[in-house]
Structure 1
Amino acid sequence: MSAPAKVLLVEDQFELRDLLCDVLQDMGMEVRTADDGNAALRILEEWPCDVLFSDIHMPGGVDGLALAATLLERHPEARVILASGHPRYQLAPLPAGTRFLQKPFRLGQFTDLIREALPA
């Protein structure tokens, strides 16, 4: 049996973060959560994830784009899904290979993107 996929979930809205964490755990994944980019960077120092799901706009000075770039520099094999309430055309370019999820989204859209991002 293989180890569960490791997902870092970064979301500043705690209700959404808790809901998505529960969904990921129900899918059999090992999940760590952070409420901002700085907390996520501290987690990544000790716990490289397979998949990063992050809001783009967060408090604290480290947004989802910077977080994704840092992760991909250290672990180019990682998969990244970024979410925002802003349409994609209003955002800075996403790192290569990054998936985008427009908020608000349905849980089915979230779980589909997570499954697609999982290592084979």
Structure 2
Amino acid sequence: MSAPLRVLLVEDQLELRDLLADVLQDLGMDVRTADDGRSALRILENHPCDVLFSDIHMPGPTSGIDLAAHVLATRPSARVILASGHPRFQLPPLPAGAHFLQKPFRLNQFMELVREQAATPV
């Protein structure tokens, strides 16, 4: 039996964060959550992730783009999913390898991106 997929959800909208966490936990994934980039960095110090889902714009000095760059530098095999309500052309360049998800998104769009990592050997 393989270890559960480790997912870090970083989202400042409580309802969305809780919904996504509940769905992933129901599928047997190890889910940790944070409401801003600084909290996410603290979690990553002791709990590496296989999948990072992060809003791009969050409170505080650490953006989702900063977080994505950190995860991809320290764990290149991780899947990074960045989300925003702004169209992609209005955003700064995303780190190479990051996937973009336009808000509002459907749950199945999110799950497809997460499941792609689950199917990839880590």
Instruction: Provide the TM-score with structure 1 as the length reference.
Output: 0.97
Task: Give ranges in structure 1 of 5+ residues lacking alignment.
Answer: none
Corresponding residue of 1:7: 7
Corresponding residue of 1:84: 84
Runs of 4+ in structure 1 deviating by more than 6 angstroms, as ranges, are none
Task: Give ranges in structure 2 of 5+ residues lacking alignment.
Answer: none
Corresponding residue of 1:100: 100
1:5 is aligned with what amino acid?
A: L
2:80 is aligned with what amino acid?
A: V
Query: CA separation in 1, counterparts of 2:34 and 2:60?
Result: 12
Query: CA separation in 2, counterparts of 1:23 and 1:86?
Result: 25
Q: Determine what percentage of the aligned residue pairs are the same residue.
A: 73
Corresponding residue of 1:116: 116
The alpha-carbon deviation at position 83 of structure 1 amounts to 0.3
Instruction: Provide the TM-score with structure 2 as the length reference.
Output: 0.95
Number of residue-to-residue matches in the alignment: 120
1:83 is aligned with what amino acid?
A: A
Equivalence map 1:23-102=2 (5 Å)? 23-102=23-102
